[in-house]
Amino acid sequence: MAFVAVAIGVGALATVGTTMYAANQQKKAANAARGDKRTAEAKVEELKRSRQSILNPYRGATDLSSMAKNLSGTMSNPYAELGVATQAAEIQMEQTDIALANTLDTLRATGASAGGATALAQAALQSKKGVSASIESQEAQNEKLKAQGDQVLQSRKQAEEQRMQSVAFSEAQRLQGLDAAGNQYVFQQEENRLNADLDRASGVVTQSQQDIAQANQNQAAIVAGGMSAVGNIVSSGVGALGAMNTPTAQSTASDKRLKKNIEKIGESPSGLNIYSFEYIDNINGKGVYQGVMSDEIPTKAVVVHKDGYDRVDYSKLDVEFKKISNEL
Protein backbone atom coordinates (compact mmCIF):
# COMPACT_ATOMS: atom_id res chain seq x y z
CA MET A 1 0.00 0.00 0.00
CA ALA A 2 2.85 2.33 0.88
CA PHE A 3 4.46 1.50 -2.46
CA VAL A 4 1.27 2.47 -4.29
CA ALA A 5 1.08 5.76 -2.39
CA VAL A 6 4.69 6.51 -3.25
CA ALA A 7 4.04 5.68 -6.90
CA ILE A 8 1.04 8.04 -6.89
CA GLY A 9 3.14 10.80 -5.39
CA VAL A 10 6.00 10.29 -7.82
CA GLY A 11 3.64 10.28 -10.83
CA ALA A 12 1.84 13.38 -9.62
CA LEU A 13 5.12 15.21 -8.96
CA ALA A 14 6.46 14.22 -12.39
CA THR A 15 3.29 15.48 -14.05
CA VAL A 16 3.39 18.72 -12.07
CA GLY A 17 7.06 19.20 -13.00
CA THR A 18 6.40 18.58 -16.68
CA THR A 19 3.41 20.90 -16.58
CA MET A 20 5.40 23.65 -14.85
CA TYR A 21 8.23 23.33 -17.39
CA ALA A 22 5.89 23.48 -20.38
CA ALA A 23 3.96 26.39 -18.87
CA ASN A 24 7.24 28.22 -18.19
CA GLN A 25 8.28 27.72 -21.82
CA GLN A 26 5.03 29.29 -22.97
CA LYS A 27 5.57 32.13 -20.51
CA LYS A 28 9.03 32.71 -22.03
CA ALA A 29 7.50 32.64 -25.51
CA ALA A 30 4.92 35.23 -24.44
CA ASN A 31 7.65 37.45 -22.95
CA ALA A 32 9.73 37.13 -26.13
CA ALA A 33 6.68 38.09 -28.20
CA ARG A 34 6.12 41.10 -25.95
CA GLY A 35 9.73 42.14 -26.55
CA ASP A 36 9.26 41.78 -30.31
CA LYS A 37 6.07 43.82 -30.07
CA ARG A 38 7.78 46.65 -28.17
CA THR A 39 10.65 46.70 -30.68
CA ALA A 40 8.28 46.76 -33.64
CA GLU A 41 6.16 49.51 -32.06
CA ALA A 42 9.29 51.62 -31.50
CA LYS A 43 10.26 51.05 -35.14
CA VAL A 44 6.81 52.18 -36.29
CA GLU A 45 7.11 55.39 -34.26
CA GLU A 46 10.63 56.01 -35.58
CA LEU A 47 9.43 55.56 -39.16
CA LYS A 48 6.54 57.94 -38.57
CA ARG A 49 8.88 60.60 -37.21
CA SER A 50 11.20 60.23 -40.21
CA ARG A 51 8.48 60.78 -42.81
CA GLN A 52 9.41 63.42 -45.36
CA SER A 53 7.50 66.65 -45.74
CA ILE A 54 4.86 66.87 -48.43
CA LEU A 55 6.58 67.83 -51.67
CA ASN A 56 5.55 70.63 -54.03
CA PRO A 57 6.96 69.35 -57.33
CA TYR A 58 6.61 72.84 -58.90
CA ARG A 59 8.52 74.75 -56.25
CA GLY A 60 11.43 75.25 -58.69
CA ALA A 61 9.27 76.74 -61.44
CA THR A 62 10.49 80.13 -62.73
CA ASP A 63 8.98 82.99 -64.73
CA LEU A 64 9.84 82.56 -68.40
CA SER A 65 8.39 85.87 -69.57
CA SER A 66 11.88 87.39 -69.65
CA MET A 67 12.66 85.16 -72.61
CA ALA A 68 10.09 86.98 -74.73
CA LYS A 69 11.71 89.64 -76.95
CA ASN A 70 10.15 92.71 -78.54
CA LEU A 71 10.71 92.33 -82.28
CA SER A 72 9.29 95.73 -83.21
CA GLY A 73 12.85 97.10 -83.47
CA THR A 74 13.50 94.80 -86.37
CA MET A 75 10.57 96.14 -88.32
CA SER A 76 10.89 98.99 -90.87
CA ASN A 77 8.92 100.65 -93.64
CA PRO A 78 10.29 99.30 -96.90
CA TYR A 79 8.87 102.31 -98.73
CA ALA A 80 10.45 104.94 -96.47
CA GLU A 81 13.50 105.67 -98.64
CA LEU A 82 12.27 105.30 -102.19
CA GLY A 83 14.62 107.01 -104.65
CA VAL A 84 14.60 107.89 -108.32
CA ALA A 85 17.23 106.51 -110.64
CA THR A 86 17.99 109.50 -113.01
CA GLN A 87 21.34 108.43 -114.39
CA ALA A 88 19.85 106.53 -117.32
CA ALA A 89 17.46 109.42 -118.11
CA GLU A 90 20.29 111.92 -118.00
CA ILE A 91 22.34 109.80 -120.39
CA GLN A 92 19.42 109.44 -122.78
CA MET A 93 18.64 113.18 -122.67
CA GLU A 94 22.31 113.98 -123.20
CA GLN A 95 22.33 111.74 -126.20
CA THR A 96 19.18 113.45 -127.52
CA ASP A 97 20.79 116.90 -127.07
CA ILE A 98 23.87 115.75 -128.96
CA ALA A 99 21.74 114.38 -131.76
CA LEU A 100 19.78 117.66 -131.89
CA ALA A 101 22.95 119.74 -132.01
CA ASN A 102 24.32 117.66 -134.84
CA THR A 103 21.05 118.09 -136.73
CA LEU A 104 21.17 121.90 -136.31
CA ASP A 105 24.68 121.97 -137.59
CA THR A 106 23.53 120.07 -140.62
CA LEU A 107 20.65 122.45 -141.21
CA ARG A 108 22.95 125.47 -141.04
CA ALA A 109 25.32 123.89 -143.41
CA THR A 110 22.60 123.10 -145.88
CA GLY A 111 20.75 126.41 -145.50
CA ALA A 112 17.49 124.87 -144.23
CA SER A 113 14.62 127.12 -143.19
CA ALA A 114 13.73 128.22 -139.66
CA GLY A 115 10.56 126.12 -139.74
CA GLY A 116 12.59 122.98 -140.09
CA ALA A 117 14.60 123.93 -137.02
CA THR A 118 11.48 124.53 -134.99
CA ALA A 119 10.05 121.17 -135.93
CA LEU A 120 13.26 119.55 -135.02
CA ALA A 121 13.26 121.24 -131.62
CA GLN A 122 9.71 120.07 -130.91
CA ALA A 123 10.62 116.54 -131.89
CA ALA A 124 13.56 116.69 -129.52
CA LEU A 125 11.29 117.89 -126.71
CA GLN A 126 8.84 115.12 -127.24
CA SER A 127 11.67 112.64 -127.27
CA LYS A 128 12.91 113.91 -123.93
CA LYS A 129 9.39 113.67 -122.47
CA GLY A 130 9.09 110.06 -123.61
CA VAL A 131 12.45 109.21 -122.18
CA SER A 132 11.55 110.83 -118.87
CA ALA A 133 8.23 108.96 -118.63
CA SER A 134 9.91 105.66 -119.42
CA ILE A 135 12.53 106.26 -116.80
CA GLU A 136 9.94 107.16 -114.15
CA SER A 137 7.89 104.07 -114.89
CA GLN A 138 10.96 101.87 -114.73
CA GLU A 139 12.14 103.47 -111.53
CA ALA A 140 8.69 103.12 -109.91
CA GLN A 141 8.58 99.45 -110.82
CA ASN A 142 12.08 98.88 -109.50
CA GLU A 143 11.31 100.63 -106.23
CA LYS A 144 8.10 98.61 -105.88
CA LEU A 145 9.96 95.37 -106.40
CA LYS A 146 12.65 96.41 -103.96
CA ALA A 147 10.08 97.32 -101.32
CA GLN A 148 8.28 94.00 -101.84
CA GLY A 149 11.56 92.14 -101.47
CA ASP A 150 12.38 94.02 -98.29
CA GLN A 151 8.93 93.24 -96.90
CA VAL A 152 9.29 89.52 -97.67
CA LEU A 153 12.74 89.50 -96.08
CA GLN A 154 11.52 91.23 -92.92
CA SER A 155 8.56 88.87 -92.66
CA ARG A 156 10.89 85.89 -92.88
CA LYS A 157 13.27 87.35 -90.32
CA GLN A 158 10.38 87.99 -87.92
CA ALA A 159 9.03 84.49 -88.48
CA GLU A 160 12.46 83.03 -87.71
CA GLU A 161 12.76 85.17 -84.56
CA GLN A 162 9.33 84.00 -83.44
CA ARG A 163 10.23 80.39 -84.18
CA MET A 164 13.39 80.62 -82.09
CA GLN A 165 11.47 82.21 -79.22
CA SER A 166 8.86 79.45 -79.46
CA VAL A 167 11.59 76.79 -79.35
CA ALA A 168 13.19 78.48 -76.33
CA PHE A 169 9.85 78.68 -74.50
CA SER A 170 8.99 75.07 -75.29
CA GLU A 171 12.37 73.79 -74.11
CA ALA A 172 12.22 75.84 -70.91
CA GLN A 173 8.71 74.54 -70.20
CA ARG A 174 9.81 70.97 -70.97
CA LEU A 175 12.74 71.23 -68.56
CA GLN A 176 10.56 72.67 -65.81
CA GLY A 177 8.01 69.91 -66.36
CA LEU A 178 10.74 67.25 -66.18
CA ASP A 179 12.13 68.80 -63.01
CA ALA A 180 8.69 68.78 -61.39
CA ALA A 181 8.05 65.20 -62.54
CA GLY A 182 11.46 64.13 -61.23
CA ASN A 183 10.80 65.66 -57.82
CA GLN A 184 7.42 63.95 -57.70
CA TYR A 185 8.99 60.61 -58.67
CA VAL A 186 11.69 60.83 -56.00
CA PHE A 187 9.13 61.79 -53.36
CA GLN A 188 6.80 58.94 -54.33
CA GLN A 189 9.57 56.35 -54.28
CA GLU A 190 10.69 57.46 -50.82
CA GLU A 191 7.08 57.39 -49.66
CA ASN A 192 6.56 53.89 -51.07
CA ARG A 193 9.67 52.59 -49.29
CA LEU A 194 8.61 54.16 -46.01
CA ASN A 195 5.09 52.74 -46.32
CA ALA A 196 6.55 49.29 -47.01
CA ASP A 197 8.71 49.56 -43.88
CA LEU A 198 5.67 50.68 -41.88
CA ASP A 199 3.65 47.75 -43.19
CA ARG A 200 6.39 45.30 -42.19
CA ALA A 201 6.77 46.81 -38.71
CA SER A 202 2.99 46.89 -38.21
CA GLY A 203 2.83 43.26 -39.32
CA VAL A 204 5.40 42.35 -36.65
CA VAL A 205 3.30 44.17 -34.03
CA THR A 206 0.18 42.29 -35.10
CA GLN A 207 1.99 38.94 -35.22
CA SER A 208 3.53 39.57 -31.79
CA GLN A 209 0.10 40.29 -30.34
CA GLN A 210 -1.18 37.03 -31.79
CA ASP A 211 1.88 35.17 -30.46
CA ILE A 212 1.30 36.60 -26.97
CA ALA A 213 -2.34 35.57 -27.01
CA GLN A 214 -1.48 32.10 -28.31
CA ALA A 215 1.26 31.61 -25.71
CA ASN A 216 -1.13 32.63 -22.92
CA GLN A 217 -3.74 30.20 -24.24
CA ASN A 218 -1.15 27.43 -24.49
CA GLN A 219 0.04 28.14 -20.95
CA ALA A 220 -3.51 28.01 -19.58
CA ALA A 221 -4.21 24.80 -21.52
CA ILE A 222 -0.98 23.20 -20.25
CA VAL A 223 -1.76 24.10 -16.64
CA ALA A 224 -5.32 22.83 -16.98
CA GLY A 225 -4.10 19.64 -18.64
CA GLY A 226 -1.48 19.14 -15.92
CA MET A 227 -4.02 19.59 -13.17
CA SER A 228 -6.32 17.14 -14.92
CA ALA A 229 -3.48 14.64 -15.32
CA VAL A 230 -2.57 14.95 -11.60
CA GLY A 231 -6.22 14.46 -10.74
CA ASN A 232 -6.36 11.35 -12.90
CA ILE A 233 -3.20 9.97 -11.29
CA VAL A 234 -4.52 10.59 -7.80
CA SER A 235 -7.91 9.19 -8.73
CA SER A 236 -6.32 6.10 -10.23
CA GLY A 237 -4.11 5.71 -7.16
CA VAL A 238 -7.02 6.06 -4.82
CA GLY A 239 -8.91 3.51 -6.89
CA ALA A 240 -5.95 1.16 -6.70
CA LEU A 241 -5.76 1.60 -2.94
CA GLY A 242 -9.46 1.02 -2.66
CA ALA A 243 -9.13 -2.12 -4.73
CA MET A 244 -6.41 -3.30 -2.41
CA ASN A 245 -8.71 -2.73 0.58
CA THR A 246 -11.62 -4.50 -1.17
CA PRO A 247 -10.89 -8.12 -2.03
CA THR A 248 -12.19 -9.39 -5.37
CA ALA A 249 -13.58 -12.76 -6.38
CA GLN A 250 -10.45 -13.76 -8.25
CA SER A 251 -7.11 -14.33 -6.53
CA THR A 252 -8.45 -13.40 -3.10
CA ALA A 253 -6.48 -13.86 0.11
CA SER A 254 -8.05 -16.97 1.67
CA ASP A 255 -5.32 -18.33 3.91
CA LYS A 256 -6.59 -19.16 7.44
CA ARG A 257 -3.59 -17.41 8.89
CA LEU A 258 -4.95 -14.09 7.53
CA LYS A 259 -8.46 -14.49 9.01
CA LYS A 260 -10.25 -14.23 12.31
CA ASN A 261 -13.76 -14.78 13.70
CA ILE A 262 -14.22 -17.74 11.34
CA GLU A 263 -17.70 -19.38 11.41
CA LYS A 264 -19.21 -21.99 9.08
CA ILE A 265 -22.43 -20.75 7.56
CA GLY A 266 -23.18 -23.39 4.89
CA GLU A 267 -22.03 -25.64 2.06
CA SER A 268 -21.83 -25.25 -1.71
CA PRO A 269 -23.57 -27.62 -4.15
CA SER A 270 -20.22 -29.40 -4.60
CA GLY A 271 -19.85 -29.83 -0.85
CA LEU A 272 -17.33 -27.03 -0.11
CA ASN A 273 -17.66 -25.43 3.32
CA ILE A 274 -18.71 -21.79 3.26
CA TYR A 275 -17.54 -19.51 6.11
CA SER A 276 -18.00 -15.99 7.36
CA PHE A 277 -14.83 -14.25 8.55
CA GLU A 278 -12.88 -11.03 8.97
CA TYR A 279 -9.32 -10.22 7.91
CA ILE A 280 -6.78 -9.73 10.64
CA ASP A 281 -5.02 -6.97 8.66
CA ASN A 282 -7.29 -4.28 7.20
CA ILE A 283 -5.04 -4.09 4.18
CA ASN A 284 -6.80 -7.20 2.88
CA GLY A 285 -10.23 -5.73 3.51
CA LYS A 286 -12.51 -4.34 6.19
CA GLY A 287 -15.80 -5.90 7.31
CA VAL A 288 -17.28 -9.41 7.32
CA TYR A 289 -16.86 -11.55 4.22
CA GLN A 290 -18.20 -14.86 2.90
CA GLY A 291 -15.82 -17.39 1.37
CA VAL A 292 -13.78 -20.59 1.75
CA MET A 293 -10.57 -21.67 3.44
CA SER A 294 -7.73 -22.31 0.99
CA ASP A 295 -6.67 -25.52 2.75
CA GLU A 296 -10.14 -27.11 2.18
CA ILE A 297 -10.58 -26.60 -1.58
CA PRO A 298 -9.14 -28.22 -4.74
CA THR A 299 -5.57 -27.13 -5.39
CA LYS A 300 -6.46 -26.00 -8.90
CA ALA A 301 -8.15 -22.93 -7.38
CA VAL A 302 -5.31 -22.18 -4.95
CA VAL A 303 -2.39 -19.86 -5.78
CA VAL A 304 0.53 -19.30 -3.45
CA HIS A 305 1.34 -15.59 -3.43
CA LYS A 306 4.93 -14.31 -3.26
CA ASP A 307 4.20 -13.16 0.29
CA GLY A 308 3.81 -16.87 1.26
CA TYR A 309 0.03 -16.82 1.84
CA ASP A 310 -2.59 -18.72 -0.20
CA ARG A 311 -4.94 -16.96 -2.56
CA VAL A 312 -8.08 -18.45 -4.11
CA ASP A 313 -9.44 -18.10 -7.64
CA TYR A 314 -13.19 -18.15 -6.94
CA SER A 315 -13.97 -18.36 -10.68
CA LYS A 316 -13.03 -22.02 -10.43
CA LEU A 317 -15.36 -22.74 -7.45
CA ASP A 318 -19.12 -22.89 -6.95
CA VAL A 319 -18.81 -20.53 -3.97
CA GLU A 320 -19.41 -16.79 -4.23
CA PHE A 321 -16.93 -14.55 -2.46
CA LYS A 322 -18.66 -11.41 -1.17
CA LYS A 323 -18.78 -8.89 1.59
CA ILE A 324 -21.78 -9.58 3.79
CA SER A 325 -21.48 -6.72 6.31
CA ASN A 326 -19.37 -3.67 7.04
CA GLU A 327 -16.88 -3.49 9.88
CA LEU A 328 -18.55 -3.53 13.29
User: How confident is the model over 59-74, as pLDDT tens digits?
Assistant: 877 887 777 777 667 6
Residue 223's nearest CA partner among 21, 32, 12, 29 is: 21
Average pLDDT of span 257-263: 94
User: What is the C-alpha to C-alpha distance for residues 322 and 303, in angstroms, rounded to an integer?
Assistant: 19
CA atoms within a 13 Å half-sphere pointing along the CA-CB vector of 68: 5
| Identity of the residue numbered 218 | N
- Three-state DSSP class for 142? helix
* Tens digits of residue pLDDT in 131-160: 667 777 888 888 888 888 888 888 888 889
Between 29-33, 149-153, 234-238, the lowest mean confidence (pLDDT) is in 234-238
Handedness of CA 168, 173, 179, 181 (dihedral sign): negative
Is the CB of residue 266 less than 8 Å from the CB of residue 301?
Answer: no
Task: Answer yes or no: pTM beyond 0.85.
Answer: no
Helices (H) and strands (E) in the chain — how many of each?
3, 7
Reduced to 3 states (helix: H, G, I; strand: E, B; else coil), residue 201 is helix
Which secondary structure element, helix H or strand E, spans residue 127, and what is its range? helix 114-245
